[in-house]
Amino acid sequence: MFTKSDKEFMQQLRIEHPDIYERVVDLHNRSKDDLRNGCHDISNIIAIIYGSYQLISLKHPELASDARWTTLDSDIRSLISSMNSIGEYRYAASLEKTVEDADIYIKDTIDEICADLSIPVSQINMDISGISCRIDIDPDKIAFVLNSLLTNILQIDPDTNIKINAFKSDNNLYIKISDSVGGLSDNIAENLFRPFNTNKSSCIGMSLATSYQILLAHNGELTYTPNKENGSTFTLIIPVTD
């Protein structure tokens, strides 16, 4: 997928060299098709393996007491989770947009995420007062971004308070999510929005890369800055419609 600078370069290329632009787009689309087909093949193989595993488990329940057998189950589930994450990244730019009132959308989405993550809404210190604008978004995709950012914070400290501040400026909606659970290492921060960038053994490091691509697909941006509270601030920048 294109980065923000890639998209700017492609726009310039389309203006100055339309023939080369069409060729680059064609090659890019072919590579995406190859990746999509390859990932589908891998997903099908994993599904067959897991189906066989479940069938054997039913026929031989005594295997449940074998540590190696239960480890195999965990490994297959990890593979399925990893492929789902890669699938979310592949389709990050496939949007189904609707026009939403920004303040209502943010509040309702955060309420739903809190319920899904089993945390009290009071754990989120939210300031969205004064927002009066509408945004043309894929609500599920933006919800994925918000969920991913909150989940990443809560994995470090399940009881921490999180600040969410939203405001309109320069025809954009800014949604800032801040924590105080410690900043990111230079190595992680430098490659923050690249796939497979993580220091956690329990995930493959796709959520931020996917979130970044989702914002680019909305002609917006996702940024990171360290903050003064020994934490991180992620900012979603989304164009407003009015």
pLDDT tens-digit series, residues 29-40: 777 676 667 767
d(Cα 108, Cα 103) in Å, to the nearest integer? 9
Predicted pLDDT at 183 = 74
Q: Could you give the percent of the chain with pLDDT greater than 70?
A: 91
pTM: 0.73
d(Cα 145, Cα 207) in Å, to the nearest integer? 8
In words, the CATH class of domain 98-239 is: alpha beta
Predicted pLDDT at 196 = 75
Whether pLDDT at 50 is above 60: yes
d(Cα 201, Cα 207) in Å, to the nearest integer? 14
Predicted pLDDT at 29 = 73
